[in-house]
Each structure stands twice: as C-alpha cells, then as structure tokens.
Amino acid sequence: MILLQNTRIASENSPVLVEGDVLIVEGVIQQIGPGLAVPEGARVIDARGRILMPAMFDAHVHFRAPGFENKETITTGSEAAINGGVTGVVMMPNTRPAIDSSAVVSTVLESAKRKSRIPVYTSGCVTKDREGKELAEIDGMRLLGVTMLTDDGDTTGDPAVLLRAMQYATEFGMFFASHCEVPELAGPRAINEGVMSYRLGIKGSPACAEEIIIDRDIRLARAAGAHVHIQHVSSKMGMETIKWWKSRGDVKVTAEVAPHHLLFTEEHIGDYDTNYKMNPPLRTQADCDALLEGLKEGVFDLIATDHAPHTPFEKAQDFISAPNGITGLETALVSLYHFFVRPEKFGWDLVVKRYSAEPRRLMGLPVPTIEVGQPAECLLFDTEAETTFTKEFMKSKSQNTPFINQTLQGRVDVVILGTEILLEREATVAVG
C-alpha cells in the first residue's frame, strides 16, 4: 500500500490540476480524494507541492544492444529511462546484428526481461540488416510482439522495397516508422545546410532531404493502405507536409518530434560542439517555432527523444568524425517543464498526452491514468526543485547531451510501477 498525500494530479484531458490524496493498493489505484485516512502499514509519501501524473513512454530510443554495449546496455538505458520518469520504451533496431529476425528479437526481449525494471519493446527492421534490399523476417517478428517496422538510422532507400513491405505487413496489423532523409542530398555530416554549414565549412544536409522522404513515405503508405509514423521531424516544411496529408484524411499518418528539435538551433553548434550533432540536424529558429506550433496543434502525435548514447571518446573527436545523436531520456521531462510548461507555452495536459498516452496508443498498449481502478504507473514531479545533470546524476552509460552539467528547474522525484517504487529521489517515505 502506498498513500500519496496532498498531491496535484495531471491528466491528458484537462489543463487543470486536481488536488487530492491517492491510495495505491497492490499496484492498483484504489482511492482518490482529499484527506484519505492512512491505512495501517501503508507507505506514506508527502507529495505536497508535487505533481502526480502518468509515467512517460518513449517510442524512440537506442539502447545499443546487441553490439554496442560500450555506449549503452538495456540495463543502463532502462535505468536512465526511470531516472527521467519513463516506464516504457521502444528500441530502434540499428544494432549489430540488426534486429531483423525472430531470433534477434527473442534474444533482445529475453534479455530485456532479465535486465530491465520497466517494459522494453523493440521495433524490427523493414529490411534485412537495414540494407534496403530484402525484406526482414516480418511475420516471425510479429509473432514475438513486434508491431513497428523501421530501418531507423537510415531511410529505406528503394521505394519499391518499402511499398512491398507496406503491402505485405499491413495485413498483419504492423505499421512503419520512417527516418526521413535522402542520403544523396544529406551527405554524412548531420548539420543543417545553411548559415552554419557555410560558416563552419561542412557540407550541410538541406531540409528538403527530409521533406522529400516524408512526402514519399506518406504517398507510399497511402498507396498501400498502410499506417506510417514519421520519426523525429526537424523542419517547418516537414511539419507542414504532414499537416497537409493529415488534413486530407485518406491515409493514416502519425508523427513525432524530439525535445532537442524544439529547443536548439544550428547556431548552438557554435564552435563545432559535437553535443549538438544529431540526425536529422538542428535547423533554424523558424523551424523550432513551427515544430512547437505543430506539437500544440496535434500535427505531432507524440514526443520521443531519439535517445542516442555515444561514448565521450567518440564525441570528443572533430565534428565530422563524431557520431550523430544525443541522449534524451533523462533530460526530456525536466526540459519540457523548464522551457515550455513553466513559461506557459503549453500545459501539463499536453505533456501527458504527447509523451505518455499517445506513444502507448501508437504501440497498442493500455494507457495509464490516475483514476480509481487503474494500474499504478505514475510519477511525482517537483516543480520547485532543480535538477543538475551531472555525470553522477545520469544513469545512462553515455552523457552526450547539451544539458551536461547544466541545471534546469523541475525534478522527477518518485516513479511508481505497479507495486514497486522504481525511483525515490529522497527518503520521503514513511510508514503509517
């Protein structure tokens, strides 16, 4: 039994926070109301000043296993998730070997069961070894629960191959997540083509490299009657392309945006800072502004971090040599609060809807809510406390984030999943 006293409850349906106590018995929310009696033997958490909300779900993470365990493992990745208030993730399949067969899927899921305290789901490749040539073992993966197919890290280059995959797999209720980039236009450098690529003398990737594939893949999905999910959109025109297709209503499209694309621009790269090197690249303030509008309007169904760990050694190279990607699981919720909720750019309801509810709906999973009779899957967020993202604070094996050693307002204090308290930042629990 866990009793949360004097909390304020956030939900996806209302910007208003509801005050009250919440009693959790055997992992299920049993009572909500003001001044609940303290049952004997209950663990009491005084949640005064803190906000209770459903725990987050990240539909786009790289846990690097198998093959790159020096960057991240399922254990460190899932602990990082908990540290950030996330209780479920979907891994991307660009591992070594790539997650493209029932054999690899079952290995990964087996090890996730043993090594993670939260549910870890995996997507599967569209094509064998992500090479864009032969179809991966699609139905074999589906039988193990895979629903999302993606060659993330790259676009499935040959549209004929992707179309065939869509025609085939839609039959089994699977959907496609698209990393959108024409490689011939983008080059390998992960910087926006523009003022900064000129100034730094690095070949840039124009926004049209992304926009072409967004449009292409939605058209393919329409032709195949498939559901396509557009990953980590970075450009204004990309957002507008999705918006236009959604307004037509004759193709199933969902889309995600990452916090870093809302927060940072190419200017932040400054003096070749590799913590700002990611793919798709950071673009301009106009793009950031448009993405924020897209998020508020619902063009983006969900927020996902594209958590992409790399070792300090790899990121300490020159900009061109360094790998793409930044970690996001531990900083996402706090940064969303600090930069958007606190200055009232949007409310907690949007955070809960876009980072907790919608990603689970995308994956066909039950959506936790703070309601009587629902399983407990929630977190307490302290809006008055601060978080400093030191190396010691981070649970991820890698700390390649612009927020390293920075302090932001807000803190994830407690994370509860069923009967377990997965995270308890300070000893706030007493026994009643």
Q: Which of 100, 152, 287, 330 binds Zn ion (CB under 5 A)?
A: 152
| Distance separating alpha carbons of residues 136 and 128, to the nearest angstrom | 4
Q: Which of 16, 195, 223, 372 binds another protein (CB under 8 A)?
A: 195
Closest CA to 91 of 103, 300, 72, 82: 72
Instruction: Name which of another protein, Zn ion, none residue 250 binds, using a CB cut-off of 5 to 8 Å depending on partner kind.
Output: none
Q: Is 130 annotated as a binding residue?
A: no
Question: Do residues 138 and 124 touch, judged by C-beta distance below 8 A?
Answer: yes
Binding status of residue 194 toward another protein by CB under 8 A: yes
- Angle at CA 242, nearest 5°, toward 53 and 227? 75
Binding status of residue 68 toward another protein by CB under 8 A: no
Segment interacting with Zn ion, rule: CB under 5 A, options 150-158, 291-299, 334-342, 400-408: 150-158
Q: Which helix (H) or strand (E) holds 24?
A: strand 14-25
Instruction: Name which of another protein, Zn ion, none residue 195 binds, using a CB cut-off of 5 to 8 Å depending on partner kind.
Output: another protein
Smallest gap from Cβ 407 to another protein, in A, equals: 8
Binding status of residue 330 toward Zn ion by CB under 5 A: no
| Distance separating alpha carbons of residues 129 and 368, to the nearest angstrom | 35
Binding status of residue 275 toward another protein by CB under 8 A: yes
Instruction: Name which of Zn ion, another protein, none residue 199 binds, using a CB cut-off of 5 to 8 Å depending on partner kind.
Output: another protein
Smallest gap from Cβ 283 to another protein, in A, equals: 12
Whether 306 is a known active-site residue: answer yes
* Strand ranges of the sheet holding 302-303, from the earlier edge strand across to the other edge: 148-149, 175-178, 227-230, 252-257, 302-303
Instruction: Name which of Zn ion, another protein, none residue 179 binds, using a CB cut-off of 5 to 8 Å depending on partner kind.
Output: Zn ion
Closest CA to 303 of 266, 343, 339, 265: 339
Binding status of residue 58 toward Zn ion by CB under 5 A: no
DSSP code of 192? B
Q: Is 83 annotated as a binding residue?
A: no
| Distance separating alpha carbons of residues 88 and 329, to the nearest angstrom | 11
Q: Which residue is associated with the tokens 């900083």?
A: 331
Binding status of residue 323 toward another protein by CB under 8 A: no
Q: Is 260 annotated as a binding residue?
A: no
How many contiguous H segments (helices) and E segments (strands) does the chain have? 14, 17
Binding status of residue 277 toward Zn ion by CB under 5 A: no
Q: Is 232 annotated as a binding residue?
A: yes
Q: Which residue is associated with the tokens 């706030």?
A: 428
How is residue 136 written in tokens?
């991966």
Cα dihedral 359, 240, 269, 317 sign: positive
Binding status of residue 183 toward another protein by CB under 8 A: no
Q: Which of 339, 375, 418, 425 binds another protein (CB under 8 A)?
A: 339
Segment interacting with Zn ion, rule: CB under 5 A, options 163-171, 175-183, 261-269, 331-339: 175-183
Binding status of residue 394 toward another protein by CB under 8 A: no
Question: Do residues 55 and 12 touch, judged by C-beta distance below 8 A?
Answer: no
Binding status of residue 267 toward another protein by CB under 8 A: yes
Q: Which of 343, 373, 384, 427 binds another protein (CB under 8 A)?
A: 343
3 state DSSP class of 284? coil
3 state DSSP class of 244? helix
Q: Of 58, 306, 349, 382, which one is the catalytic site residue? A: 306
Chain-centroid distance of CA 17 in Å reads 24
What amino acid positions are annotated as catalytic residues?
306
Contacts with Zn ion by CB under 5 A lie at 152, 179
Contacts with another protein by CB under 8 A lie at 193-195, 197-203, 263-265, 267-273, 275-276, 285, 288-289, 313, 316-322, 339-340, 342-343, 345, 402-407, 409
